[in-house]
Chain A
Amino acid sequence: QKEVEQNSGPLSVPEGAIASLNCTYSDRGSQSFFWYRQYSGKSPELIMSIYSNGDKEDGRFTAQLNKASQYVSLLIRDSQPSDSATYLCAVGLYGGATNKLIFGTGTLLAVQP
């Protein structure tokens, strides 16, 4: 089992729709959770961070965390063609000798005009 799993996609949504991106993780000790956006040929750009169960909203983006289910998601409202990119879920493991960010392989989102 991979430590952080994402559906590779592509996830295709029409412009203006809600895009829902999902991520599961295996280590219950995970303490911090991040969503990054990566355009083709570019480096990852931080979109959201979340540390506690529940929802966190920032503009058109909402991150949701459920530690009991080991599940984190990202909702993008009013999707725009400029949102078309690969979305990477990252999970932070800290403590003792372990101190690293583990990434999923990413979900490719395609927003159709």
Chain B
Amino acid sequence: KAGVTQTPRYLIKTRGQQVTLSCSPISGHRSVSWYQQTPGQGLQFLFEYFSETQRNKGNFPGRFSGRQFSNSRSEMNVSTLELGDSALYLCASGFIAGRTDTQYFGPGTRLTVL
């Protein structure tokens, strides 16, 4: 089975712009979670989608949003980019959204905000 794929792998944007990141989960997986990883804060949970519904959201401002499509692919959008948004954005997929769900990570999108 193909793993989790994320596009693009690298992005350079300037402050004030917006960006959209894409994630395709493992075939058959219906849960997609997004994380932000920075050297200072580690892995921070952004949100989780399951069957096109956002099930949970982390403590990020409203500039961070996402959605999931009927084929389980997910997109994450960040509007009005700030320097502090520079990070590795990771997507993880799971078969179900539940207590025994194991999440598998994609390669990530490295976002640099100048």
Residues of A near any B CB (own CB < 8 A): 31-32, 34, 36, 42-46, 49, 51, 88, 92, 94-95, 97-106
Contact = CB atoms under 8 A, between A and B. Distances in A.
Contacts, number: 56
A43 to B, nearest CB: 4
B90 A97 contact: no
Contact of A99 (B35, B56, B100, B102): B56
Residues of B in contact with A, size category: 20 to 34
Which among A31, A36, A45, A101 has the highest number of chain B CB atoms within 10 Å? A101
Interface stretch (B67-75, B78-86, B104-112): B104-112
A99 B45 contact: no
B100 A51 contact: yes
B48 A43 contact: no
